[in-house]
Each structure stands twice: as structure tokens, then as C-alpha cells.
Chain A
């Protein structure tokens, strides 16, 4: 069966510090991978998605970046965090193809202080 791992569960970082969130999927090949951010009590904002290794589509221009160094690994990074980067970050995957349902990780609560 397929599983998605996302870590860490919580993170407190000072403004200006770097960020690296990692997400890995097991039990499937060539998944579509997604990063979403959720502000408190709000909906999900799509940040990045990837349909293959090295293929990253960015939805929101900001100081975040994403990389997919391996087929089932998706990394969200920042060189310098801003206060506005605080939020609940969710990684998700779907089977290869368009319009498929998403399977979400358990999320990372990021607080930038």
C-alpha cells in the first residue's frame, strides 16, 4: 500500500532563517506531488506541483522554492523565512495523470517568529 511521510510535524524558526521540509511517498511510482499551505482557519493555497523529476510548477511567486531530486521525494525550501511564511504546510500525491484525487501527508505546522 502507498504511504506518504512528511516531516517535521512542528517547526519554530526565526525570521531570516532557512527552511527545508521534506516529503516522501512509498509504494507507488511516478506520482504527481504537491505542496499546499493552509493559514489558520482557511482553505489551502497551492504552492507547487510536480509531474516528474525536476519538473516543478510554481503557483505563487514568493521566497519559497521546491525541488524533486528523486521520483518520490519533494522538498520545500526557503533561504530566508518571513513572518508571513507561517502556516500549516501539506504535502500530497496523486497517481500519474490529470484530475486525480490527492492523498495528503499529516502536515507541518511552521511558526516563524
Chain B
């Protein structure tokens, strides 16, 4: 079952702008991860944030986690055409931390 739900489903921005997408989940988690998928390809891990962390940065990526609201956000700054992809959050539940459950994803299109 899908635990995470991304919002919005689709996002179209101009190159150079920032892209923000959100993920909400239902149960207590060990950690939350974000992945990117280019069309027809496998997923690539972007960043992992643990339940005791509130914010994490990696290059142009910034992830926040609010466990009280059971939500996370992914910010991509200064977007590029190469950032065009689908982005998924995945949650690792405390009940079984071998299982990663993925949301339906946010499709980001960066216009040149």
C-alpha cells in the first residue's frame, strides 16, 4: 500500500525558478527518502532524512520533515531542464523498517 502522498501531482516551472513538492504520510516512520525517476528509467536516491532530523541539504536540494504533521517537503532551487523528472517520497515505517512505501509522485517539468 502507498503510505506517502505527494502534492502537487504535477508542477511546471521556468528554468531558474524553485520547485517545491510535499509528501504526507500516515504512520510513524524510521526515516523518509526522496527519489527521482526519469521517464522509463529506474529510480535514483536523492536524500534520506531520519525521524529525529528536521532539515537536510544536498547541493540544490533541501528537505524538511515535520513528524508532528507527518509531512515532508522537497525544495529544488535554481531548477534546470535536467531536473525534469518524477519525484517520489518513500517512507520506512517503524513497524517494519525493511519496507519502503512509495507515494504516487510529483511530475516536474522545467521549461527552458
Are B102 and A44 neighbours in the complex by a CB distance under 8 Å?
yes
Most central of B2, B48, B92, B102 by chain A CB within 10 Å:
B102
Chain A interface size band reads 20 to 34
Q: How many A-B residue pairs have CB under 8 A?
A: 60
Interface residues of chain A: helix, strand, loop or mixed (majority): strand
Chain B: interface residue total (CB-CB under 8 A): 25
Query: Knowing A98-B30, A99-B31 touch, does A105 contact B42 (C-beta < 8 A)?
Result: yes
Kindly supply a per-residue 1/0 record for chain B positions 81-112, scoring 1 wherever the CB is within 8 Å of any chain A CB and 0 otherwise: 00000001010100001111111110000000
What separation, in Å, do the CA atoms of A88 and B43 have in the docked complex? Answer: 12
What separation, in Å, do the CA atoms of A42 and B88 have in the docked complex? Answer: 10
Please provide the chain B residues from 1 to 37 with a CB less than 8 Å away from any CB of chain A in the complex. Answer: 2, 4, 30-31, 33, 35
Please give the residue numbers on chain A whose beta carbons come within 8 Å of chain B beta carbons, in ascending order: 6, 32, 34, 36, 42-46, 49, 51, 57, 59, 88, 90, 92, 98-99, 101-107, 109
